Amino acid sequence: MGCNPDDQKLAQAYIDKNKTVQNSIKSIFTTHSRAIHTPFGHDTIIFDEDPLPLLLDVDTLKIADLKKIKKNKHRALLFGDDRPRFINLQRYLESVDEGEILTLPDEFKVDITNEWLLFMQTEGIDSNIMKFLASDYFYKDESDRDLIHFINQESLPQDKKIIIMSATIPVKIYKELYGERVQVIDITDVAHKGTITQHTRYSYSRNSLAKHLDNVNEKLEKRPTITFKSFNEQIDNASPDM
């Protein structure tokens, strides 16, 4: 079955725009994940907050999910071979001690490109098995023997200057990961200039704004205002370009 021509055009347009951005020499605002995984041509990457949760990505696996992945369905019907595809991995994980930090032995690592369709065709899986198979470390939960905690470590680009702006960054962890590459610039003595006026009665989230528009507009001074895109027509002096 072929793809819808309109969908193909949309997909190609998305790919083309990504290539344009990737090759741009101008400043680019993007997500933390894309900044880590996309090979932009810039020599400096600035994070506006700590990206550690993406660099050390922690997740869980249910051993029971491995039992749901069977070998080739046609082979199962013809030869009665209905054993789980990952029976050896399942038995290994069931045998490890709780709380011990381990790495997945090479014998259990598989070529994910050959297995993804099998995962996609299996219903009822709650765990990201492909992610686990590429994990760096794991351990079995001490109170739930069916639960495996694992971590995937991503790397920051080696050939770029990385600037992380955070007031709560765990410096010790970064030094363990990146050694002498880490330099800390402490600017805790910054003094505020100007006045901050905060109205705390309402949260002024999208939902809150919809209920209290008149109240908001009464309090706003006649200055350019940054708001949600969907409220640009309702907030006085909204500045869509800011």
Give the CA angle between residues 18, 157, 190 to the nearest 5°: 100
Q: What is the predicted pLDDT for the residue at 161?
A: 95
Instruction: Enter the pTM of the model.
Output: 0.65
What tens-digit pLDDT sequence spans the chain (242 residues)? 457 888 889 999 999 998 898 888 899 999 999 999 888 889 999 999 999 999 999 999 999 988 887 655 554 444 444 555 688 899 999 999 999 999 999 888 777 776 666 776 677 788 888 889 989 999 999 999 999 999 999 989 888 999 999 988 999 999 999 999 999 998 877 788 888 888 888 888 999 999 999 988 888 878 889 999 899 999 988 888 76
> Structure tokens of 220?
């706003």
User: Which pLDDT score is estimated for 75?
Assistant: 47
pLDDT of residue 13: 93
Q: What is the pLDDT of residue 196?
A: 83
> Is residue 50 a contact partner of residue 169, using CB atoms and an 8 Å limit?
yes
Domain ranges of the chain: 44-190, 197-242
Q: How many CB atoms lie within 10 A of CB 19?
A: 10
pLDDT value, residue 84: 53
Residue 61 confidence (pLDDT): 94
Which is nearest to 171 in space by CA: 50, 57, 54, 53?
A: 50
Q: Which of 110, 145, 107, 103 is nearest to 129 (CA)?
A: 110
CA-based max dimension of the chain: 78
The predicted structure's pLDDT at residue 239: 87
Report the 10 Å Cβ neighbour count for 65: 21
Give the list of residues 6+ apart from residue 170 with CB closer than 8 angstroms, or none: 50, 52
Which 8-state DSSP code applies to residue 108? G
Query: Residue 138: its pLDDT value, please?
Result: 97
